[in-house]
A = this chain, B = another copy of it.
Amino acid sequence: MLENYLKECLYFTANRLGRIITKMAEDEFAISGLSPTYAYLLMVVYDKEGVSQKELSEILHLKPSTVTRLVEKLISKGLIYSQAEGRMSLIYTTEKGKSLQPTIHECWMNLRRKYSEILGEKEGEELTLRLDKVSDQLENKE
């Protein structure tokens, strides 16, 4: 039976998990009016006002062109603004953006609570760190 082969492929299982957890995250972040990745970008800016897009791209592990698109949208929502500094474009939160911080933090907590309830707190945390480590290994490879 092929079904059993599929689940032995990392491409297959990693993406399946990605879709499931993305759906959960979208549901939890819905009350913020943002999808998770936008919320995460915003969180980075809360933590690092004036961050450059390149830095954002490194921190979020997304391509620069993707960050451009995310930034565009958050600007159009009035949550951040950008200020050119040489060839860089530095990102800051607006007042409206700042006012969203507690909500986003709440969503973030809710998401973690939700999957921790199912997987167990320890188990969930451990898995998360492992995925991060594995990603590093796969990336830092010629």
| Chain A interfacial positions (CB closer than 8 Å to B) | 1-3, 5-22, 24-25, 36, 40, 43-44, 46-48, 59-61, 108, 111-112, 115, 118-119, 124-125, 127-132, 134-135, 137-139, 141
Per CB-CB distance, the 5 closest pairs between chain A and chain B, nearest first, are A18-B18, A2-B47, A13-B131, A11-B25, A7-B132
Partner of A17, one of B60, B111, B135, B141: B135
Copies per complex of this chain = 2
* Chain B residues with CB below 8 A from A134, complex form: 17, 119, 127
**A11 to B131, Cβ gap below 8 A?**
no
Partner of A20, one of B17, B44, B125, B135: B135
